[in-house]
Amino acid sequence: MKSRTILISITSLSLLLSGCSSIPNPFEKKDQTEGQPSEQPSGQKEEDELEPEQDQNDQNTDEEKEADKGPVLPSPEETVTVNADGEKIVTNVMDPLVLVNKERNLPADFIPETLTVPEIPFTFEEDHPKKQMQEVAAEAIEEMFAQAETDGIPLLAQSGYRSYSTQKSIFASNAEKNGHEEANKYSAQAGQSEHQTGLTMDVTSPEVDFGLIEEFGETTAGKWVKDNAHKYGFIVRYPKGKEEITGYQYEPWHLRYVGKEHAKAIYEQNLTLEEYLGAPVEPVNSTE
């Protein structure tokens, strides 16, 4: 009987211990629960850290889109005013992109600021106002002439700044000699000359006996100028085949400073300054 009691006790104890193994461990469950919330803050932190980088990427994208639009150009319509005589007078006179032509005049009393004489070779020795250019253009042409000399190009300067009164006398002389209509094809009337801006220089070479003639474009110097002037901020202002747009005959010697960025774009797209700025023009001086 005693043995039977002991056997029953042992059996009961075995069953009890066996049943306890299937009961969930409260401590294990607690550990798992505590581990779960730590994952979400960790993940949120990573997202927060990515947000500044994403913002930077968005900003870069916006800047790239703005760059794709190209440089901001002055509006032709917003840079003129009409005087009592109905003439269009340009207002952005000191802008390197100022557009002066047969339809857009400079004020009669306009004299560019910062006029200076560039240290480049001229076709004459004496002091003369036509040696002058605006300082920004003078520095650029000094750089261009230095490279021309390095490349062995025989290049000399002929005529830069001209006042309103000087241009008036020049046109009157040409009109008297060749007639008003003919003179208007190659000579600007007072107020319509780029030389008054101080951003222009006529260049030549001994290959054409220092003349300002179309043949200059076929010389070593003329070809070098056409292919390299834009690198220094200059354009050939009156190119061949664009006479109806510019209003003037082909002038391979007439260099106009507009700045390197704009000169590069104008050169690569084979544009005139009128076309580049989107200025409306009436066809003039037809070559047909």
Q: What is the pLDDT of residues 77-116, one digit of tens each?
A: 999 999 999 999 999 999 999 999 999 999 999 999 999 9
Which pLDDT does position 208 carry in this prediction? Answer: 98
Start-to-end CA distance of the chain, whole Å, equals 138
Is 140 a member of any domain? Answer: yes
Is 210 a member of any domain? Answer: yes
Is 64 a member of any domain? Answer: no
Q: What is the pLDDT of residues 48-79, one digit of tens each?
A: 454 555 556 555 665 555 555 678 899 999 99
Q: How many whole angstroms separate alpha carbon 255 and alpha carbon 156?
A: 12
Burial class of residue 207 in the structure, from the number of CB atoms within 10 Å of its CB (0-12 exposed, 13-18 middle, 19+ buried): middle
Confidence band for 38, pLDDT divided at 50, 70 and 90: very low
Contact 123, 158 (CB under 8 A): yes
Could you tell me which of 267, 258, 270, 286 has the C-alpha nearest to residue 137?
258
Is 229 a member of any domain? Answer: yes
φ, ψ at 86 (rounded to 5°):
85, 10
Residue-range definition of the domain harbouring residue 217: 118-161+198-277
Which pLDDT does position 63 carry in this prediction? Answer: 54
Active site residue 268: no
Count of positions (residues) in the chain:
288
Task: Using the structure block, give the residue that is written with the tokens 């002058």.
Answer: 132
Contact 184, 170 (CB under 8 A): no
Is 106 a member of any domain? Answer: no
CATH number at residue 130: 3.30.1380.10
Q: What's this model's pTM, rounded to 2 decimal places? A: 0.76
- The CA–CA distances, whole Å, from 36 to 31, 65, 153 equal 9, 44, 79
Which residue among 103, 243, 251, 274 is the active-site one?
251
Contact 141, 118 (CB under 8 A): yes
Which pLDDT does position 185 carry in this prediction? Answer: 86
Beta bridge partners of 236: 255
Could you tell me which of 253, 150, 276, 147 has the C-alpha nearest to residue 203?
253
Which pLDDT does position 256 carry in this prediction? Answer: 98
Could you tell me which of 76, 85, 84 has the C-alpha nearest to residue 104?
76
Write the Ramachandran bin of 239: left for phi over 0, alpha for psi from -120 to 50, otherwise beta: beta
Is 178 a member of any domain? Answer: no
Is 231 a member of any domain? Answer: yes
Is 74 a member of any domain? Answer: no
Task: Using the structure block, give the residue that is written with the tokens 């002066």.
Answer: 100
Q: What is the pLDDT of residues 1-14, one digit of tens each?
A: 444 544 445 444 45
Radius of gyration of the chain (CA): 39
Task: Return the DSSP state at 102.
Answer: T
Question: Is the pLDDT confidence value at 34 over 90?
Answer: no
Question: Is the pLDDT confidence value at 258 over 80?
Answer: yes
Write the Ramachandran bin of 66: left for phi over 0, alpha for psi from -120 to 50, otherwise beta: alpha
Mean pLDDT of the chain: 84
Confidence band for 281, pLDDT divided at 50, 70 and 90: confident
Report the domain count for the chain: 1
Q: How many whole angstroms separate alpha carbon 238 and alpha carbon 200?
A: 12
